[in-house]
Amino acid sequence: MRNLWLFPGQGGQNPGMLDQVNPQLKEQVEKWTKVKLLDTAEGYQDSVQI
């Protein structure tokens, strides 16, 4: 694997930070983890995204 997404905790994320991620890679990560990656201000309000 060549990519590592590290989110060190609440407050370190910004809406739009996944804009540069290949959409196919993002979909694959969502499929593997069963977590919808919400790249919005609302999505980063909680440390758990479902």
Domain extent at residue 46: 20-50
Secondary structure letter of residue 1 according to DSSP:
-
Quote the pLDDT of residue 17: 87
Quote the pLDDT of residue 45: 76
Quote the pLDDT of residue 47: 66
**How many domains does the chain divide into?**
1
The answer to whether position 48 is within a domain reads yes
Cα separation, 8 vs 23, in Å, equals 22
Are the C-beta atoms of residues 39 and 16 closer than 8 Å to each other? Answer: yes
Cα separation, 46 vs 25, in Å, equals 23
Count the neighbouring beta carbons within 10 Å of the beta carbon of residue 6. Answer: 5
The answer to whether position 27 is within a domain reads yes
Q: pTM of the prediction?
A: 0.61
The pLDDT tens digits for 1-50 are 677 776 666 667 788 888 989 999 999 999 998 888 888 888 777 666 55
Show Cβ contacts of residue 35 under 8 Å, excluding neighbours closer than 6 positions: 49, 50
